[in-house]
Homo-oligomer: A and B are copies of this chain.
Amino acid sequence: MSDGAGPADEAASPGPAMHALLRELYPICRSITGDGVRQTLARLGQEIALEVHEVPSGTQVFDWTVPREWNIRDAYVKNAAGERVIDFRRHNLHVVSYSVPVRRTMSLAELRPHLHTLPDQPDLIPYRTSYYRESWGFCLAHRDLERLPDGEYEVCIDATLADGHLTYGECFLPGTSPDEVLVSCHVCHPSLCDDNLSGIVVATFLARHLARQSRRLSYRFVFIPGTIGAITWLSRNEDRAQAIRHGLVLTCIGDRAGFTYKRSRRGTATIDRAVEHVLGHLPERSTTIDFSPYGYDERQYCSPGFDLPVGCLMRSHHGRFPQYHTSADDPDFVDPAQLAGALATLQSVFEVLEHDRAWRNLNPRCEPQLGKRGLYGAVGGSGIAQLEMAMLWVLNLSDGRFTLLDIAQRSALPFAVIRHAADLLARHGLLAPCEPAG
């Protein structure tokens, strides 16, 4: 793979460019507030038209309050020799996110309760946060902890936790319909790639792609800190949320596994059926799981007061792979081709959303004679082509009760073929659009 992929190469294979953006974003120390998020959004703003919102600390958002803003310059633990035995400059996971400032000398015994490791994965640095309780801490490889001799250590977290803002980005792409598709990804994780630079990169490229397309639906991409960001967005956009017809949370979407789709709370929303349809026609194996209220921001979108049709598309399921929330979730863990595959899959899903509709068969009594219109094989007796089959399905089920997605699912044919069949039939005057359901 080459970093120097130009726009033409990119269209053929956007994977390298996606991965390059991911690597560029990797070193930034993001958290739920602070300059790391701003830097990240600024970089995304070079790719897509991104409106950045700043919400002051202390703002009440439903049951929550926008927290103070956290920024960190440096952090370390020095041994008696003055050597940095834990160094934030080497990896930003070394500091518990939202740690309050500290600058003290203490014994290892005093320090110990502030050190987080993974004894079962002794080479990896864990990712830990303490957003809603004032605290501080360091994360390190268990092997490194074991090597620390007793003695005095100089502990420094040069951070500020002060009134400021919560920052999020929004990219809105209006369509001819006010009906909206929401794509949401969290931008609060520091140097972790699958979770969630992969989601950020895929969303960005998706927005860039859709910006160049003609759109029936309107699309809203939100790049927000997890939980508090989604709550903030929903709190400020209660009315707008009612326009959301379909939505997806994107996370852990760049690793080497097949897709995992977690259904919306409704379970059979169009987004659920569209994703399941598209995944079902991929050559790789996918998994679909039911909604549960634990996960990423689908928790908020699917809270009972909103109950939005928002699912979550992943490859590996968050929390269920060994690299999750550790320093092993690095750029190598994410594969360019898998990023590109996720992009292509989402494009297919959105093609379904754009074009799913019910048609009415204008010749509903018996089949129309497709042959005389050049739509059907001339010599009888042998098999039937896929497009012919698709036309028969569309004609048979276009009684106003079934949309093209319904027909694709029932026929087990790809949506694109069903849609092509419907277009052909409409062009020959055999189908007319149904009025959309009220």
Q: What's the nearest-Cβ distance from chain B to residue A426, in Å?
A: 16
Evaluate contact between A393 and B293: CB separation under 8 angstroms: yes
Chain B residue with minimal CB distance to A300? B366
Q: Which of B290, B294, B395 is in CB contact (< 8 Å) with A392?
A: B294
A425 within 8 A of B: no
Evaluate contact between A367 and B130: CB separation under 8 angstroms: no
Q: How many residues of A contact B (CB 8 A)?
A: 63
- Comparing A10-18, A121-129, A247-255, the segment that makes contact with chain B is A121-129
- Comparing A71-79, A279-287, A379-387, the segment that makes contact with chain B is A379-387
Q: Which of B294, B365, B384 is in CB contact (< 8 Å) with A303?
A: B365
Chain B residue contacts of A382, Cβ below 8 A: 126, 128, 325
Query: Given A132-B369, A299-B392, A369-B63, are A383 and B319 neighbors across the interface (CB < 8 Å)?
Result: yes
Contact with B along A227-240 (1 / 0, CB 8 A): 10011001100100
- Dominant secondary structure of chain A at its interface with chain B: loop
Contact with B along A99-143 (1 / 0, CB 8 A): 000000000000000001000000000111111110100000000
11 A-B pairs within 8 Å (CB atoms) are namely: A126-B381, A126-B382, A128-B379, A132-B372, A133-B379, A135-B378, A230-B366, A231-B367, A300-B367, A304-B395, A305-B361
- Could you list which residues of chain A lie within 8 angstroms of chain B, going by C-beta atoms? 61-64, 96, 116, 126-133, 135, 227, 230-231, 234-235, 238, 265, 290, 292-294, 299-300, 302-307, 319, 325, 361, 363-369, 371-372, 378-384, 389, 392-393, 395-399, 410-411
